Amino acid sequence: MSAQLWALAVAGAVVLAATGLESFRAWRGRRLAAGVSAAPAGEPYILYFTGDTCTVCKTHQEPALARLGEVRIHKVDAVEERDLADRFHVYTLPTTVVMAADGRAVHVNYGYAPAPKLVRQLADARGAALRSAATA
Amino acid sequence: MSSVQTVVDHSALKVNQTGIVATVLIAFVGSFFSTLFLALIPLLGIALLAGTFVPKLAPFKQLYFKVLKPRGIVKPHPVQDRPEPHNFAQGLGGVFLGIASILLVSVPVAGLAVALLVAVLAFVNLAFGYCVGCQIFFQLERRGLLRA
């Protein structure tokens, strides 16, 4: 096999390994952040981790959050509020955390989360609050 | 959050990324016919590094600002943004192409593979807006290792 094809195979293997590693990191982050609590509120809300350096936040995530309507968005600078970012294992921007009304993290999204996904997760967070009230 | 007041023309970034992908692909495909095409890789590395420190030396961005934008071939897309992460990502690309150039002399397979990876990352940024260099910039800034 020629050097070019070997190079293509090596580059492909590195891309596959990096994709696997990224998936593992996101899975691990979600597992560690699930159930972490922050300030409670009357309604489910979204913790939105962003930063000055995040372009996708401005071009994709913020328009998606604007489409959610009346949902409370708590914007957090991941560089300045490092402790809070560390608590939710924020390793990439944007990161969105869907919080239940009792202040418990229900869903964590590392990277861009489209509006329909956030709507589903918010509905789930409302359901989680109802389930928690029913069993209390 | 500190207020962002600078504006970055994202079309210039896209033209830059397109240039990187195209140049590496030309070098890669051309190398099947002649090893002379591989000279494009160190040239691209030098161009990216020079453009990081002196924006006027960035060939693809100059192509955009001097030709494509004035003639209306590519429309501007200004976004309130910081240029530092993008410059950092470009510089990182230049460094990796420099490493690829050194490897091309001793281990051609590794050199070509590194150059292809730079093209893949530029393509991911171009197609999906995900800038790996900017994420590295964020991590370094968060750890206090880098200041804009």
Residue owning tokens 């596959």: A16
CB of B137 less than 8 A from some CB of A = yes
Better pLDDT: A104 or B115: B115
Residue of chain B nearest A14, judged by CA positions: B117
Q: What are A84-98's pLDDT values in tens digits?
A: 998 998 988 999 999
Q: How many whole angstroms separate alpha carbon A120 and alpha carbon B33? A: 53
pLDDT band at residue B41, thresholds of 50, 70 and 90?
Answer: very high
- pTM for the whole structure: 0.81
Facing residue for B142 by CB, picked from A4, A59, A78: A78
A55:B2 CB<8 A: no
What's the pLDDT at B144? 80
Average pLDDT, integer, range A25-38: 82
Mean residue pLDDT across chain B = 91
**Are B80 and A3 a contacting pair at CB < 8 A?**
no
A115 contact B CB<8A: no
Percent of chain A scoring above 70 in pLDDT = 93
Q: Is A15 within 8 Å of B120 when comparing Cβ atoms?
A: yes
The residue with greater pLDDT, A4 or B4, is A4
CA distance A121 to chain B (A): 23
Tell me the pLDDT tens digit for each residue of A32-87. 887 777 777 788 999 999 988 888 898 889 999 999 988 999 999 998 898 899 89
Q: What is the pLDDT of residue A36?
A: 78
Q: Inform me whether the C-beta atom of residue A93 falls under 8 Å from chain B C-beta atoms.
A: yes
Give yes or no for residue B2 having a pLDDT over 80. Answer: no
Chain B contact set for A80 (CB, 8 A): 1-2
Query: Does residue B4 belong to the interface with chain A, where contact is any CB pair within 8 Å?
Result: yes
- From residue A72, alpha-carbon distances to A24, A68, A85, B89, B98 in Å are 30, 9, 18, 33, 47
Q: Say whether B113 and A53 touch across the interface (CB within 8 A).
A: no
Report pLDDT digits (tens) over B75-130.
Answer: 999 988 888 899 999 999 999 999 999 999 999 999 999 999 999 999 999 998 88
Q: Exposure pattern of B65-87 as b/e (b: 16+ CB <10 Å)?
A: beebbeeeebeeeeeebbbbbbb
Interface contact B30, partner A, CB < 8 A: no
| Mean predicted confidence (pLDDT) in B7-36 | 94
User: What amino acid occupies position A117?
Assistant: K
Q: Do A55 and B120 touch (CB under 8 A)?
A: no
pLDDT (0 to 100) of residue A58? 87
Name the strands in the sheet holding A45-50, side by side, starting at the edge strand that comes first in the sequence: A72-77, A45-50, A95-99, A105-110
